Structure 1
Amino acid sequence: METLEDLFEDTLRDILYAEKKILKALPKMARKASSPDLATAFKDHIADTEGQVDRLEKIFEMIGKSPRGKTCPAIDGMTEEASEIMQEAEDDTVRDAGMLAAAQAVEHYEISRYGTLAAWADKLGMPDAADLLRATLEEEKATDLKLTELALSEINVDADPPEMKAASKKTARR
Structure 2
Amino acid sequence: MTIENTEDLFVEGLQHVYYTEQRLLDALSELEESSSEEELQEGFAEHREETQQHVERLEEVFEAVGREPEAAEDPVVEGMIEAHEEFVEKEPSDGALDRFNIAAGQKSEHYEIACYGNLTPMADQLGLDEAADILERNMREEQDALDELATLGEQFDYGRIEA
Residue 150, structure 1, aligned to residue 155, structure 2: no
Letter in 1 for 2:33: R
Kindly state the Cα deviation for residue 99 of structure 1 after the two structures are TM-superposed. Answer: 1.3
The separation in 1 between residues aligned to 2:89 and 2:98, in whole angstroms, is 12
Normalising by structure 2, what TM-score?
0.94
SS of alignment partner, residue 136 of structure 2: helix
The separation in 1 between residues aligned to 2:138 and 2:26, in whole angstroms, is 19
Percent identical pairs in the alignment equals 34
The separation in 2 between residues aligned to 1:90 and 1:9, in whole angstroms, is 40
Partner residue, 1:136: 138
The separation in 2 between residues aligned to 1:82 and 1:9, in whole angstroms, is 29
More RCO (CA 8 Å, sep 6+):
2
Kindly state the Cα deviation for residue 159 of structure 1 after the two structures are TM-superposed. Answer: 4.5
Kindly state the Cα deviation for residue 26 of structure 1 after the two structures are TM-superposed. Answer: 1.0
- Structure 1 stretches of 4+ moved >3 Å: 156-162
SS of alignment partner, residue 127 of structure 2: coil
The question of whether the paired residues in 1 share the 8 Å contact of 2:31 and 2:44 is answered with yes
The separation in 2 between residues aligned to 1:126 and 1:62, in whole angstroms, is 8
Normalising by structure 1, what TM-score?
0.88
**Count of matched residue pairs:** 161
The separation in 1 between residues aligned to 2:81 and 2:20, in whole angstroms, is 10
Residue 21, structure 1, aligned to residue 48, structure 2: no
The question of whether the paired residues in 2 share the 8 Å contact of 1:86 and 1:99 is answered with no
Partner residue, 1:76: 78
Kindly state the Cα deviation for residue 89 of structure 1 after the two structures are TM-superposed. Answer: 3.9
Kindly state the Cα deviation for residue 90 of structure 1 after the two structures are TM-superposed. Answer: 2.1
The separation in 1 between residues aligned to 2:162 and 2:125, in whole angstroms, is 50
Partner residue, 1:113: 115
The question of whether the paired residues in 1 share the 8 Å contact of 2:116 and 2:136 is answered with yes
**Aligned alpha-carbon RMSD (Å):** 1.3
Structure 2, unmatched stretches of 5+, are none
Letter in 1 for 2:5: T
The separation in 2 between residues aligned to 1:123 and 1:89, in whole angstroms, is 48
The question of whether the paired residues in 2 share the 8 Å contact of 1:85 and 1:99 is answered with no
Structure 1, unmatched stretches of 5+, are 163-174
